[in-house]
Amino acid sequence: MEERLVRNYLVEEKLVSGLPEKLYFWDETLRDGEQMPGVHFTPDEKLRIARMMDDIGIAIMDVGMPIISQEEKRAVKAIATAGLDAQVISAARTLKGDIDACLDCDVDEVSIFVACSDLHLKYKLRMTREQVLSIAPEMVEYTKEHGVKVSFVTEDTVRADMDYVEELYNACIAAGADRAVLCDTVGVMTPTAMKWWLTEVRKRLRPIQLSVHIHNDFGMGVANTLAALECGVEVPHTTINGLGERSGNTPFEETVTALESLYGYETGINISRLYKLSRLVEELSGVPVAVNKPIVGYNAFRHESGIHTHGVLMHTLTYEPIQPELVGNRRVFIFGKHTGAAAVEDRLKGVGIKADKEKVMDIVASIKELTERKEKEDQRAFIRSYREREEKLRGVTEEEFWRIAEKVGLELPPSES
């Protein structure tokens, strides 16, 4: 009998029973991810990312809002006609012009969205519940008449009145919607609340495939998405590297790896390419991956502490929950203030050098001494330059804004001219 070195009570005690037989990952990197301040993908970049996402097994991708610009429309159409296996979706408000722009791009499906909570209705849309209840089903019907599938989405679903959620979604389902997308637009749910809320909503809705779109404002995007899947939701929304407005969306790589490694669930995703996909999106979005980001962060499989390094050298599971190679990453030992003898011995052994204990400890001491007397100005300069970039170089600059305003014929105040 194989020795059991670690326990996984989630699987052993069968603590999860509600996961769907099959999940369909819906990626939002090219739509919601691009709405992250300052992020802009060219049509060629969007197609490049879409092809890689398609290759690793993502089933659905929302690739943009064609109504935004002609460049966006070209990008959406290029992806929709690229022969991908994934279902290609574009997004539209409850406006015929938005929907027509999507239809012009030959997409497989249109994601029609509208606000749902009274807060959004009153202050953003300036519409009544009745007005939305009238126009939303009409737009679903209009899209379906053109032979295209519809996902019906409401913003701020989880903060809306549940009776109205029931009424609005059932009206759109009756009008022909193929999928219902429920949104935690500002990331305010917890796993406990998410399970309760979905259980209640599911009782009220007509039979339909459910999807969730969850933001990460309190750092619970992955946890809340997993909670939703445990309630039987089949279509989770995610973005590569967690791109998106404010603190971003539920990160794809973290959700997939949690399902594969913690739940023992076969997602159908080629997780060996997660690191490569992450780096591509990092490069093209211009948004650096956090050093300590799970799974694909630069430190996800780096070790410096002597205790940790020794443990990993004895058995990787001591301080690594998964093998880095599973996600296309790699293990790195860092030599610094906290380095111990085991890391030095391993480095020497790797090139065929055998040193006695005294020499190894001399190397350890020298590494610590060198690290502790290094100046930190380079580090501070990097942080200053990064902060400056984030403050000044996202989108157009102040000077560029006023130049545009002047170009269209506005008379500027002396302070801006």
366-380 confidence digits (pLDDT tens)? 989 988 888 889 889
pLDDT in tens, 295-318: 999 999 998 888 888 888 888 999
pLDDT at position 36 over 50: yes
- Whole-number pLDDT of residue 130: 98
* pLDDT above 50 for 158: yes
| Site of tokens 């560029």 | 400
Residue 241 has pLDDT above 90, yes or no: yes
Give me the mean pLDDT over the 59-72 stretch.
Answer: 97
- How far apart (Å, rounded) are the C-alpha atoms in residues 308 and 329? 18
Query: What is the C-alpha to C-alpha distance for residues 81 and 84, in angstroms, rounded to an integer?
Result: 8
* pLDDT higher than threshold 80 for residue 391: no
Q: Identify residue 273 by its one-letter amino acid code.
A: R
Mean pLDDT of 155-181: 98
pLDDT digits (tens, 9 = 90+) for 99-129: 999 999 999 999 999 999 999 999 999 999 9
Q: How confident is the model at residue 393 (pLDDT cuts 50, 70, 90)?
A: low
- Tens of pLDDT, residues 334-363: 888 998 898 889 889 889 999 999 998 999
pLDDT of 371 reads 87
Taking 70 as the threshold, does the pLDDT of residue 285 lie above it? Answer: yes
Q: Residue 382: which residues within 8 A CB-CB, separation 6 or more?
A: none
Task: Determine the pLDDT at residue 414.
Answer: 79
Average pLDDT rounded to a whole number, residues 260-275: 97
CATH of domain 20-285: 3.20.20.70
Q: How far is CA 137 from CA 50, 122, 177, 269, in A?
A: 30, 20, 9, 34
Cα gap 64→111, rounded to integer Å: 10
Determine what percent of the chain is predicted with pLDDT higher than 70.
98
Which comes out higher in pLDDT, residue 412 or 183?
A: 183
- Count CB-CB contacts under 10 A for residue 75: 27
pLDDT recorded at residue 45: 98
Q: How many helices (H) and strands (E) does the chain have?
A: 16, 10
pLDDT at residue 2 is higher than 60 = no
Residue 354 has a CB neighbour count (10 Å cut-off) of 9
Mean pLDDT of the chain: 94
Where is average pLDDT lowest: 4-13, 112-121, 240-249?
A: 4-13
Q: What is the structure's pLDDT at 1?
A: 38
Q: Which pair of structure tokens corresponds to residue 162?
A: 């549940």
pLDDT at 417: 64
What proportion of the chain, given as a percentage, has pLDDT over 90?
Answer: 78
Determine the average pLDDT of the residues in 210-228: 98
Task: Give the integer Cα–Cα distance in Å for 252 and 239.
Answer: 5
pLDDT at 263 over 50: yes
The mean-pLDDT minimum among 53-57, 71-75, 148-152, 389-393 falls in: 389-393
Domain ranges for the chain, please list them. Answer: 20-285, 302-372, 377-407
